[in-house]
Amino acid sequence: MTKVPHTLAEWRAGRYLFDMAKRIILILLAVVSISFAGTTPELGIHDKTPTVKAFVNARIVQSPARTIENGTMVVADGRIVAIGGSVTVPGGATVFDLAGKTIYPAFIDPVTEYGVPNAERPRRRWGEAPRYEAERAGADAWNDALHPELNWVDEFQPDSKEADELLALGFATVQSARLDGILRGRSTVVTLGEGLPNDLILKAYGRQFGSFDKGSSEQQYPSSQMGAIALIRQTLLDTDWYDKAQSAYSRNPAQKAPETNRALEAMQGVRTDGMVFETANALEILRADRIGREFSVPMIMIGGGNEYTRLAAIKQSGVDLILPLEFPETPAVKDIGDEYDVTLGQLRHWEWAPFNAYLLDSAGIEFAFTTHGLKNTKDFWKNLRTAISCGLPAQTALAALTSVPARIAGVDDQVGTLEQNKLASFVLTDGDLFDEKTHIYSVWVAGEKRHEEIKLDQVDFRGNYTLQIDHRAVTLKLTGDITKLSGKIEIDSATSMTLTDISIAPDVIAFSAVLDSLGMDGTTRFEARRSENGLVGFYVSADGGKHQWSAERIETAADEKKKKTPEEEPPSRISRLTSPNIAYGFETPPTQQSVLITNATIWTSDEAGVLENADLLVQDGKIRAIGSDLEAPSGVLTIDASGMHVTPGIIDEHSHIAIAGDVNEGTHAVTAEVRIGDIVDPEDIAIYRELAGGTTAAQLLHGSANPIGGQAQVVKLRWGAGPEAMKMPEAPNGIKFALGENVKQSNWGERYTVRYPQTRMGVETIIRDAFQTAREYEQAHEQFGKLGKGDRERTIPPRQDLLMDALVEVLNSNMFVHCHAYVQSEMLMLMRLAEDFGFRLASFEHVLEGYKIADEMAAHGVGGGSFADWWAYKFEVYDAIPYSPALMSERGVLVSINSDSPEQGRRLNQEAAKSIMYGGMSPEEALKMVTINPARQLGIDRYTGSLAVGKDADFVIWSDNPLSMYAVAQQTWIDGRKYFDIENDHKMRETLSQEKSELVQKVLKTGESSGRKDRGGPGGPKPYSGQYDDAFDLWIGAGEGGYYHD
Amino acid sequence: MTKRILNLVALLALVLSGAASAHDYVPGAPQSQPILLKGGDLYTVAAGVLPHTDLLFENGRITQIGPDIIPPENTNVIDISGKRVYPGLIDMATTLGLIEIGEVRATNDQTEQGRVTPEVTAATAYNPDSELLPTVRSNGITTVLVYPGGSLIQGRSSLMNLDGWTREDAAEKPVAALHVTWPRTRIVTAWWMQQSPEEQKKENAKNRDELSKAFEDAHAYYIAKKADPSIPVDLRWEAMLPVFDRELPVIIYANDYRQIEQAIAFGRKWNLRFIIAGATEAFRALDLLKEHNVPVIVRRVLDLPPGQDDPYDAAFTLPHLLHEAGVPFAIATYSSWASRNLPFHAGMAVAFGLSKEEGLRSITLTPAEMLGVDGEIGSLEVGKKATLVVAAGDILDMMSHRVEMMFIEGKSVDLNDRHKELYEKYQRKHWSEDK
C-alpha cells in the first residue's frame, strides 16, 4: 500500500511522487464505492456528478510556512488527493487554470454560534419575586447556568444566511456552540458546506465551552463573578465525586443509589478534552487559568483584547488564546469637555488594542482569531489588516486563521493546511491574501465552490482605450475595482463626460453616457466585449439607431494605479504602557530599597510608644532597627524626616476596593463557598488613592447581603502587582457574616420577601442549621476516611461541598469570622451561637451598638471593627454613637476603625482621630485602631501593623501629627518599596495630562468619532465612584434590584 | 432611668408608626441678661483673631468686643481664658429636619413629586425636634441651609438655626434660595448605562430645554404679573417672582465642567443672582467663575476625585484653588447626620493649601454673604446676632475640636444630645457590672 509522507522534508524529496500517481488512481476508483456510504434514502435520481477536480498553475500557500509557486492540487470527493509542484493531472478531471491566482487554506473560526439556536434572553418581569430555584428538566444540573450535557451537534442545522456571511470572509469551517451560560455544552465542528448536517460535521463532540457569565439563566445564583467561579469549582469537584459514587454503587448496589446527573456525566471527559473559556479581559484569563490549574483542565481562552497589558503572566500561564478581531470604538472627543468622559486608560487602550496581536506574537504567545465579538462582521478584514499594519507578521495572521484554530478545534487532521487527505477547503485570490488590493475570488468548502465574489473568467476591463465614435477618436478611461468600475470619455484634458450605469458580466461591459460635448443628443447606451486588442460592441444613440464601435487599449489601469499609491505611514503609539494600564500606573515597579529615616517622630503602635527624634532602618523589606542616632550602612538611602512623623502603614480591616465585579453574591442566604480571593482586581485606582492616604493593607470583604457570606482576602496595596502578588498568603483565612436589615432584606424592595430569613430570629436559625450540618458533614467525612480501602471503594463517599468545607474551617478555628452587625441582640445571639459550637468570632463589623455589650464582647473575645461616627441612615443604626469605639476600648474590646468606603479608606487616620473628640482616647491609642489593632483582628500582627524590628517595612511618612486634620502623607512604603511619594505624584500629573492631550489630538486627527455604545471596557472607570456605605454593601450585586449608589 | 427607657420605647413606637421622632433637649430661652465672655481668643472672621479679648452680648446681639469690657449690671460673666470663640458654623447644604432615617420612607420629606417644583419650601416640613439636630450642633454648627431634593427645579431652601421650639422660631431665613439641578452633561459608559452616548446627549439637551421652558414660563408670568397683579395665581411661578427681581438667589447644582459652563451662561442670560453648587470640577472652570464673579458652594472636601484620571486630592485642593483664583466659596456637606463633620471638611482644605482663616470663613461668613444674612450672622462683630461657639481647641481639627458652649441669638443652647445620653447610659451599665 502507498506510504504517506510524514514530513515536509520527505515530501520535498519527491520520494513519493511515483507512489502518488498510483494512489490517485486508487482513490478515483474508490469514489464510486464511497457514495454508497450514506444512510439517507435518495428519493429521486441519484447524483453521480464527477467530483474530481484539478487546480493547476496556482500559487499554493499550503500552510503559513510552505508555499508552492506553481502547483497543482487534485481534489476528489472533497479531499485533496494530491498536491505539489509536479503532480500529474488525472485524466477525466475538471481542470481549473489558476494562472495568476493564489490559493490559501480556508479559515477556521473556533468560536461561533453557527447553526445552533439562539438563547432566549431573560424577560424583564417587574414586581415578580426573584427565582432562587432552577427550571429542572431531565436529570440536569441544579443551576440553570450549567448545561454541560448539551451537545450542540444535536441541535446543529446549516444556516445559509449565516454561512454566506462567514464564507464571504474566507471561512470554511467553524466550531459552534451556543455561547450562553457558565458551562455551555460541547461544541461541534462543522464545515460551511451545503447538505445534510450529517455530512457537514468534522468533529461531532468538540470541547466544553464555559464562561463567568450566567447568560440567559433567570435563576438568582450566581449573581457575581466570584459566585460563577465557585459554581465552576464545585461542579468540577462534583464531577469527580460522581464518578466515585457511581463506581462504588456499581460495586455494591446494596446502598441508596446516588443521583443520576447528566451534567456531571457529561463533565467526565473535561480533563482530557479541555475547555474553551470566554473571558472579557486579561485578568479574567488569569482567573480562569487558576481554576484550570486547580483541576488540571486545559484551558483555551477567548480573550478580551487587552492581553498586551499582561503579556508575561499570560505567557507563563501557557493557555491557548482565541482573539476576537474587534477593537475599541474611537472615543468621542469632538466637543470641549468630552475628554473628561474618557479616561486615559480608555484612550491608551484605543491606541494599543490594534497592536495586541502583534505584541502577543512578539512575546511568543500563539493565538487564533475569531469573528466572535465583532459588532459588525464586515469589520473583520479591515481590522485584520489593521493588526497586520501594526506589525503582526502575515504568516502569523494566516496561522491564526488556519492552522492554529484547526488545532484548537481539534480538526487539524482534516483542515487548516492544504495537504494530502485533508479537505479541499480553500480561498482563491488574485494576490497576497492580506494585501488591500487583493480580491477573494471564491471560497471552496470540501471541493465545492460555496462563495463566489468574482468569477474566474472575469475580464479585467480597466484601462485606457482609444474609442472611435461618430468618426472621432476620443479616450475611454475605465478605472476602479475590477468588479466595480467607473469611467469617462475624454475629448481632451479639459472636456470629459462621465459614464453612468456601468455594469459588467464576466465578459460584457455596458454603460451609458450623455455625449453632448460630442454633439450627440440624449443618452447613449453602450455594450461591448473584450477583443484581441481592446473592446468591440454596439451603441444605441438617442434616435434609436444601433451602431458598432470599437476601442483600442492604450495602458492598463493597474499599472497606473501602482504608480500613484502613496506609502502609508506605519501606525505608531504615543501612549505609555503602565502597570496597571491606567493613570498613575507604574512604568517600572518600585524596587526594594535599604533606607534610613532620621530625626522623625516615630509612632510605633508598639510597646515602645511614640519616639521623638528617632531613626528607622529598613533593609530587605524588613525593619532592622529603631532608635536614636542609627548609623546608615553603606549604600543605604537616608531620608531626613525632621519635623515629620512616621507611623506603621494603615490597615483597613473592612474594604471593598480592588474587587472585580460584584462585591456580593447576594443571592443565597449562605454563600460560604465564594471567595473574594478569586476576583482580586489590581487595576482599581482606589488602590493608589488609598496609598496616598497612608493605607498599606486591607481586608477585602464580601458584602453583607447574606447571613453567611463569602470568604475574605487580605491584601497589601502593592500597586502595579498582579492579583496573586497583592495577596498576603500569611494571613489566616477569613469569612464575612452579616446580620440584621441587610440579610433579612428589609430595604430590598417589596419583591424580596421570599428568601429565608426575613427576621432576626430566622437569621439565628439559618446560621445554626448551617453549622450543625457542617459538623455532621465533617463527621461523615471522618467516618468515610476511617473505612478500609476496599470498603471505601464500595461505599458512596460523602460529597465534598465547598460551602461546608468553609464552615468546618470556622468550626475548627481555622477561619476568622468577621460579622457585619449593628444591634446588640443580634451580636449577643451570634456570640452565644459561636460559643455553642466552640469557636470564637474574630470581629463584628460596623458594630454600632457594640458599646451596649462591650463587656460581653470582651468576655467572648470578639473584636470590633467600627465606623467612627456613622448613624441614622437606616433604622437599625438609630442607636449608633460615635463614643462607641472609645467605650469598647475602655472595656477591653480590641477595636479597629475601618472604612467600608474607597473615600474613607484614604484617611483612616482622621476617622481614628474622631475617638479623641468622642470619648477622649489618647492619640496613640487612636492610631492603634488603624494599625496594630486591625492587624491583630486579621491575625497578621506578626508581620505588619506596628513598627518593630523584624516586621515588614510597611510605613508612612506624614507632614504632621498623623491624628491631626492637617497631616498629609508624604511617602507610603510596603515591604521596603516606595509605592507612593507625593513629589512623584505631582510630577506624574504633568506627564499624564500631557499624554492625555496628545492622545486626544491623535483621536481628533483620525477624524473618526462614534456614537456607538462601548460600555466600560479595559482602562475604563470602575462602575462606582462614591462611598459604598452600608447601602452599597447591600445593593451592589443584588441582581436587577441593585442600583448605582453615589 | 426607667422613665428614660419608657421615653425610648415611646420614641421607637413613634418612629415605627411613621411619625417623626422628637428629641428631649429643651430649646434655649431668649437671652434675659447680658453675657460677657471674658478673656477668650476671638476668631472674628471679619477682623482676624483677637487674642485675650472680651465679648459682650445683650438681647441676642453682640454689643461690645474689646479688652477688659466693663460689664453692665446683672451680667453673667463667663471666664473663657485659653478658649476660643467662633461664629456659629453654617452648613450650606443639609437635609436635616427633612430626613430622619434615610431608609425609613415615612421619615423622609425631602423630595416632592415632579421635576419642576419651585413652589415647595423646606421649612414647611422641617422638624425642629429631629434627634439629628443636637448631634450636629454639638460640633459647632449653629445654622444650616435645608434644601429640597429633586431633579430640575427642586424648590426653595430655608436657613434654619439648630435650636428652636418650632420651625418658625428656628428659622433664620425661611425662604433662602431657589434650588436648580443642572441637567447631566457627562456621557456615561459604565456597564449599567443603557443609553448610547448619542442618546444620552439627546436626553441631556431635552432636559436643558425643559429647564429653559420653565424659566421662560416663569418669566412670562413675571411680566404679566407686573402689568396686571390680578392675573390668576400659578403657585410655581409665583414662587419664582423674586428670582427675576434678583432678590432670591438661585443655587444651581452643577458638578462637571460643562454643567458649570452652561449654568453660568444660563444665570447670566436670565440675569440671576446665582451660585454654582456641587462644583466638583470647578478646578477646570476657575477662569470662567472668576470672570463672571460667580460664588461657589463646594460639595464636600472629604470626597473622591471626580474622574479616574484626576489627582487623588482633587477635592481636597479645590477650596485652595478657588481662593487663589479669587472665587468666593463656601463648603457644604450635602448630608444629614454627617453635617456634624462640616468643620473637618474645612480642615482638610487647610491641610491641602488653604489658610486656616479662609477655611473658617468658608463655613461662616461667606455662606452668610451668599444668602444675604451677613449683617446678622457669620462673624463676630458688634451689632450682629450672638450666634457663636466657645471651643477649647481648634474647631477645624478633630484632634483638638471641643465645643463647650453655644449661643444662638444669645440663647444658651443645650449641648447634650442622643449620643452623649446613650454614652452616659451605657457607661452606667458597665460600671454597675464592675461591682
What confidence tens digit (pLDDT) does each residue in B384-433 have? 999 999 999 999 999 999 999 999 999 999 999 999 999 999 999 866 55
Residue pLDDT, tens place only, A824-849? 999 999 999 999 999 999 999 999 99
Residue B48 has pLDDT above 70, yes or no: yes
* In a domain? residue A504: yes
* In a domain? residue A357: no
Name the residue in chain A with its Cα closest to that of B16.
A875
**A933 and A822 housed in the same domain:** yes
| Residue to substitute from B316, B321, B426, interface A, most A β-carbons within 10 A | B426
Distance from CA of B166 to the nearest CA of A (A): 22
**A674 and A538 housed in the same domain:** no
Residue pLDDT, tens place only, A281-293? 999 999 999 999 9
More confident residue, A976 or A513: A976
The residue from B333, B356, B377 where one domain ends is B377
**A537 and A665 housed in the same domain:** no
How many angstroms separate the CA atoms of A522 and A895, rounded?
97
> Would the CA dihedral through A363, A366, A372, A377 be positive or negative?
positive
Q: Is B392 on the interface with A (CB under 8 A)?
A: no
* In a domain? residue B184: yes
For residue B425, the 8-state DSSP code is H
Rounded CA Rg of chain B: 23
Average pLDDT over residues A283-306: 97
**B216 and B93 housed in the same domain:** yes
**A867 and A894 housed in the same domain:** yes
Average pLDDT over residues A462-471: 85
Maximum CA extent, chain B: 80
Contact call for A902 and B304, based on CB within 8 A? yes
**B133 and B209 housed in the same domain:** yes
Of all residues in chain A, the percent with pLDDT exceeding 90 is 78
Contact call for A882 and B352, based on CB within 8 A? no
Name the residue in chain A with its Cα closest to that of B312.
A689
pLDDT at residue number A471: 79
- And the C-alpha cell for A423? 479537505
Helix ranges restricted to H, A918-1028: 923-928, 932-938, 982-1006
For residue B398, what are the domain limits? 23-88+379-435
* In a domain? residue A745: yes
* Per-residue exposure over A877-890, b if at least 16 CB sit within 10 Å of its own CB, e if not: bbbbbbbbbbbbbb
* In a domain? residue A227: no
- Residue A237 to residues A530, A601, A775, B78, B343: CA-CA distances in angstroms? 71, 54, 20, 76, 56
**B62 and B95 housed in the same domain:** no
Average pLDDT over residues A489-505: 87
How many angstroms separate the CA atoms of A809 and A830, rounded?
17
Contact call for A340 and B257, based on CB within 8 A? yes
**B70 and B122 housed in the same domain:** no
Q: What is the ipTM of this complex?
A: 0.94
Q: Own/partner pairs for B258-264, CB < 8 Å, 24+ apart?
A: B258/A336, B258/A337, B258/B185, B258/B186, B259/B182, B259/B183, B259/B184, B259/B185, B260/B284, B260/B285, B260/B288, B260/B289, B261/A337, B261/B285, B261/B288, B262/B182, B262/B185, B262/B208, B263/B180, B263/B182, B264/B288, B264/B289, B264/B292, B264/B294
**A682 and A703 housed in the same domain:** yes
Contact call for A870 and B187, based on CB within 8 A? no
* In a domain? residue A902: yes
Q: A-chain residues within 8 Å CB-CB of B281?
A: 340
CATH of the domain at B247: 3.20.20.140
CATH of the domain at A621: 2.30.40.10
Residue pLDDT, tens place only, B336-390? 999 999 999 999 999 999 999 999 999 999 999 999 999 999 999 999 999 999 9
Residue A27's pLDDT band (cuts 50, 70, 90): low
How many CB pairs lie under 8 A apart between chains A and B? Answer: 179
**A913 and A1016 housed in the same domain:** yes
Helix ranges restricted to H, B256-415: 257-269, 286-291, 314-325, 342-351, 356-361, 365-370
Q: A-chain residues within 8 Å CB-CB of B192?
A: 1023, 1044
Q: Own/partner pairs for A13-21, CB < 8 Å, 24+ apart?
A: A14/A86, A17/A84, A17/A86, A17/A87, A20/A82, A20/A87, A20/A420, A21/A88
* In a domain? residue A525: yes
* 3-class secondary-structure state, position B206: helix
The residue from A520, A549, A564 where one domain ends is A564
* In a domain? residue B14: no
For residue A904, what are the domain limits? 650-769+814-944+1010-1046
* In a domain? residue B310: yes
* In a domain? residue B9: no
Residue pLDDT, tens place only, B121-142? 999 999 999 999 999 999 999 9
Instruction: Choose among B15, B191, B303: nearest Cβ to A1016.
Output: B191
**B27 and B137 housed in the same domain:** no
**A698 and A745 housed in the same domain:** yes
> Are the CB atoms for B270 and A303 separated by under 8 Å?
no
* In a domain? residue A865: yes
Residue keyed to cell 455604545: A1013
**A637 and A660 housed in the same domain:** no
> Are the CB atoms for B418 and B133 separated by under 8 Å?
no
> Are the CB atoms for A186 and A193 separated by under 8 Å?
no
pLDDT at residue number A496: 87
**A482 and A507 housed in the same domain:** yes
**A642 and A700 housed in the same domain:** no
Q: Which of residues 883-922 of A touch B (CB under 8 A)?
A: 883, 887, 891, 902-903, 906-907, 910, 913-914, 916-919
* In a domain? residue B105: yes
- Residue A849 to residues A741, A881, B3, B355: CA-CA distances in angstroms? 14, 8, 21, 38
User: What pTM does this model have?
Assistant: 0.92
pLDDT at residue number A702: 96
CATH of the domain at A468: 2.40.128
Residue A1025 has pLDDT above 50, yes or no: no
pLDDT at residue number A29: 54
**H or E element at residue A637:** strand A637-640
- And the C-alpha cell for B198? 448619542
pLDDT at residue number B432: 55
Residue pLDDT, tens place only, A63-90? 999 999 999 999 999 999 999 999 999 9
Nearby residues of B403 by Cβ (< 8 Å), 6 or more positions away = B138, B139, B140, B389, B390, B391, B395, B415
Average pLDDT over residues B215-220: 98
Residue keyed to cell 474622574: B307
The residue from B334, B356, B377 where one domain ends is B377
* In a domain? residue B18: no
Contact call for A1021 and B190, based on CB within 8 A? yes
Q: Which of residues 260-299 of A touch B (CB under 8 A)?
A: none
Q: Is B182 on the interface with A (CB under 8 A)?
A: no
* 3-class secondary-structure state, position B133: helix
**A733 and A851 housed in the same domain:** yes
What is the end-to-end Cα distance of chain A in Å, rounded? 77
CATH of the domain at A763: 3.20.20.140
Residue A887 has pLDDT above 60, yes or no: yes
Residue keyed to cell 491609642: A925
Number of domains present in the structure of chain A: 3
Name the residue in chain B with its Cα closest to that of A1039.
B192
The residue from B361, B377, B393 where one domain ends is B377
> Are the CB atoms for A871 and B337 separated by under 8 Å?
yes
What is the end-to-end Cα distance of chain B in Å, rounded? 19
Q: Is B270 on the interface with A (CB under 8 A)?
A: no
For residue A700, the 8-state DSSP code is E
**A734 and A765 housed in the same domain:** yes
More confident residue, A546 or B333: B333
**B392 and B404 housed in the same domain:** yes
How many angstroms separate the CA atoms of A367 and A320, rounded?
6
A1033 backbone dihedrals φ, ψ, rounded to 5°: -45, -40
* In a domain? residue B16: no
* In a domain? residue B80: yes
**B345 and B279 housed in the same domain:** yes
CATH of the domain at B395: 2.30.40.10
- And the C-alpha cell for B209? 430645554
* In a domain? residue A708: yes
Arithmetic mean of pLDDT over chain A: 91
pLDDT at residue number A244: 97
Q: Is A965 on the interface with B (CB under 8 A)?
A: yes
Number of domains present in the structure of chain B: 2
| Residue to substitute from B95, B280, B309, B403, interface A, most A β-carbons within 10 A | B309
How many angstroms separate the CA atoms of B175 and A641, rounded?
53
**B280 and B163 housed in the same domain:** yes
Taking alpha carbons only, the member of B173, B370, B155, B161 closest to residue B277 is: B370
> Are the CB atoms for A925 and A610 separated by under 8 Å?
no
Distance from CA of A434 to the nearest CA of B (A): 34
How many angstroms separate the CA atoms of A859 and A853, rounded?
10
Q: B-chain residues within 8 Å CB-CB of A741?
A: 103
Q: Is B181 on the interface with A (CB under 8 A)?
A: no
Distance from CA of B103 to the nearest CA of A (A): 5
Q: B-chain residues within 8 Å CB-CB of A870?
A: 337-338
Distance from CA of B173 to the nearest CA of A (A): 26
The residue from A564, A579, A613 where one domain ends is A564
